[in-house]
Structure 1
Amino acid sequence: MSQVSRSYIVTGGGGGIGGATVLRLLRTGANVLAIDISSRRLNGVKEEAAALPGRMEVLKADITAEQPVEQAVKLALELFGDLHGVANVAGGMPDYTGTDMDRPLESISLDYFHRMFALNVDSAFLMSKAATPHFRKKQYGKIVNVASLAAFANRPELGNAAYNPAKKAVIGLAETLSLLLGPDGIRVNTIAPGLVMSDKAKGALGDEYTQRHLKQVPLGRLATTSDLAEGIAFFLEPASDGITGETLRVAAGVR
């Protein structure tokens, strides 16, 4: 399959990691439908993409609901005529302000817990489910979920009692789908970032927080949004066709 003719959906496509992924794919000449809840963020990425060879389309949608997700996949197929992969980048913490890290258990409501799973797990589940009939029909497809190092351990200042289980579930979803969908030629993998200082994170967390985390990083620098985009693109592109069910840490050496 030609790299130039490939078409993708990237959720959270207006955010730091999602936006970097969109730009990375467009540089290869790919078609990308970027989905985000914010038109402003999407427009910002589209401005950056103006000179790139690929084709970028945008869709403002809430992908924690079934109907918008189904419409998004339908739109991608109408726009591009094909779909080779989906990057489930949308996620994070609801109403994130920087004070969510290590929240006491008693301060986490059931509503917050459910919203965390909706944002991170429901979105990945629904997008994977909606894209699967097309992938199965052509006996080929790529799904990439984005988890977090917070899924692997009780890491200080990386998550909380709602976020960490949600990101663990994102990995479990990918591992299960890799088994179920592998016979249909569908590869499902996960990227696990460590701390990534996107513009949003910088504003919420500040320099002191960053310096504390840098002391634990073997490479002496944090992974960037571009580093994450390269990992996601690898799992979407043909070079990784022999890989499924894997989780790749992109965290500058932090495990």
Structure 2
Amino acid sequence: MPEPRHYLGKMRGQTAIVTGAGTQGDGVGTGQAIAVVLAGEGAAVGLVDREADRAEATRGRIVNAGGKAFVMVGDVTDNSDCQRFVEEAVAQTGRLDILVNNVGISTPVALDDVDEHAWNRVIDVNLKSAMLMIRHAVPAMKATGGGSIVNISSIAGVRAHGSIAYGPSKAALAALAREIAVLHGRDGIRANTVAPGHIMTPHAMHVLPSDARTLRQEIGPLGMEGDAWDIAQAVAFLASDEARFITGVLLPVDGGVTEIGPIAAHMLVTNCS
């Protein structure tokens, strides 16, 4: 879908933090798209990334469109950095309303390739970082009456994906959101998960083989791929007051691909009857 041009201001006066808010390479990644959409809806957005230039590119895009954003550089697997991100957001705006745990990495793939260090790195970046950010965000959200947390998982956490560490780490993000939803619902805090699938981003274009896009289009019920803006719109809905009675859910944004059975998928790909 194209970048949204019209917004309703449904997050005016709120503050959001988006981890992994920069984009690597050409095009728009999910973190940047999420930050742009939240800012378009009126939120002041804290842009967390390891690379200052990537986050600055996102900030420039937001500011040029009339939005508010500020860059916070650090390591989301480090507890002190995560604490600093939340404290800085509150210091700048007086509150924290939305946390989007978007950052993630996707290696290693095969069991033979994973050693303890590689396993720990994937779990730390994809899962531990979300726990640390949530741990510091919850008190800040409670101080102003509540908030919304959205974890960015993957359909690899719903169906086997052939990646020994990535899939389990993404599945755990949904479980983490459910626990937060139950533990902190009475604090006014909602927690949900978005599971992207068959989304074309700069990272996907870098890692996928050349024929993967055609295959993904053929196998999906809608016959097309999604993009980062599709994910951003889903996040904006779950983070907004429009979703005030929705918590603990896992929302696939995948063109229906997780709903198609393996035999049916084979038939679609091979045009069998």
Length-normalised TM-score, structure 2: 0.86
**RMSD (Å) for aligned C-alpha atoms:** 1.5
Q: Is the 8 A contact 1:26 1:52 kept in 2?
A: no
Shift of 1:53: 2.8
Shift of 1:241: 1.0
Shift of 1:50: 2.9
Residue 253 (str. 1) matches residue 259 (str. 2): no
For residues 191 and 132 of structure 1, the distance between their equivalents in structure 2, rounded to whole angstroms, comes to: 19
Identity of aligned residues (%): 31
Q: How does 1:172-183 map to 2 (within 5 A)?
A: 172-183=175-186
The amino acid that maps onto 1:9 is I
For residues 170 and 138 of structure 1, the distance between their equivalents in structure 2, rounded to whole angstroms, comes to: 25
> What does residue 85 of structure 2 align with?
72
Shift of 1:54: 2.1
For residues 145 and 95 of structure 2, the distance between their equivalents in structure 1, rounded to whole angstroms, comes to: 13
For residues 42 and 99 of structure 2, the distance between their equivalents in structure 1, rounded to whole angstroms, comes to: 16
Which of these two proteins has the greater Rg computed from alpha carbons?
A: 2
Q: Is the 8 A contact 2:218 2:224 kept in 1?
A: no
Shift of 1:73: 0.2
> What does residue 19 of structure 2 align with?
11
> What does residue 229 of structure 2 align with?
226
The amino acid that maps onto 2:19 is T
Residue 81 (str. 1) matches residue 94 (str. 2): yes
> What does residue 130 of structure 1 align with?
136
Aligned length: 245
> What does residue 192 of structure 1 align with?
195
For residues 138 and 28 of structure 1, the distance between their equivalents in structure 2, rounded to whole angstroms, comes to: 20
Shift of 1:55: 0.6
Shift of 1:222: 1.0
Q: How does 1:1-255 map to 2 (within 5 A)?
A: 3-15=11-23, 16-93=29-106, 100=108, 103-155=109-161, 159-255=162-258
Length-normalised TM-score, structure 1: 0.92
> What does residue 264 of structure 2 align with?
none
> What does residue 97 of structure 1 align with?
none
For residues 94 and 43 of structure 2, the distance between their equivalents in structure 1, rounded to whole angstroms, comes to: 13
The amino acid that maps onto 1:113 is W
Shift of 1:2: 6.4
Q: Which structure 2 segments of 5+ residues have no match?
A: 1-8, 24-28, 259-273
Q: Is the 8 A contact 2:15 2:93 kept in 1?
A: yes
SS in 2 for 1:144: strand
Shift of 1:42: 1.1
